[in-house]
Structure formats: C-alpha cells, structure tokens
Structure 1
C-alpha cells in the first residue's frame, strides 16, 4: 500500500473522509484540516471549531496555514 502524503477535502484521494492527520511534534490529531501535504510540511485548517457554521453565514475567518511535521493515516474503526 502506498504511503499517503497529500489530502484535500473533496479529494484527492477519493476516500479523503477516511484520512486523519497527526501532528508528529505533539502526537495529537489535527482537527478541521482542509488540505495537507506531509512531504512539504504544511497544512491548511479551519481557524476554529465554529468555523463551519460561521462560513455558512459568510462571517468565517480565513483558514490558517501551519508548517510542521504531519503523518497521514486511515481512520481506525
């Protein structure tokens, strides 16, 4: 199986919903990821948990871009 290094909401890959992102420096899952490239060391995520609701009203803050070390894996069931 190929190592996953890039994911974007809506794909690629086609099963993007099954991927989770781990911050290798903290060991924590990163929530709200919109796009991530682990080879290049960056991700874009919603700025806050309320971002989705605010986005629908047109009041959402811009997403934030974060540099770091990330690992992409398929969600455990």
Structure 2
C-alpha cells in the first residue's frame, strides 16, 4: 500500500528499521502485563477490559500499542 511505501521511505531516510507485525497478531487481546490472551475482547465495541489473570485494567488502544511495540522489538532481536 501507499502508506507502507511512505513508512519504508521515511524509515530509510532516518536510518531506522521498519518492522511489519503480522496482520493477525492479537495485539488488543493480549494483556501487556502478564501475557494472558482474552478472546472475549475481540468485539471492537469493548474499549476497556480487566485481565482475569493479573487484574490490570486496559484501554484497548494503549494496550494494543504496547503489545505491538513489544512484538516488534522481539522480531528485531530475532533478526
């Protein structure tokens, strides 16, 4: 897509790596505190949820962004 082209160009321009996360990575379903996968929050209407394992309360978007960052860093280390 054009957006990916622009990101790739900008990453190279600034000497950075662009790491692509799998489209089906369950970023909003994983607790970024303990790693528990809550499949009940697949519904996009659910904006906040509490992890049944560790009790941490999550904002869906903030939690997903932290999980995407963590996954990208793992992928970068592995390469």
User: Please, what TM-score do these two structures have when normalized by structure 2?
Assistant: 0.23
User: Please, what TM-score do these two structures have when normalized by structure 1?
Assistant: 0.23
Q: Counting strand residues as a fraction of each chain, which structure ranks higher?
A: 1
Q: Counting helix residues as a fraction of each chain, which structure ranks higher?
A: 2
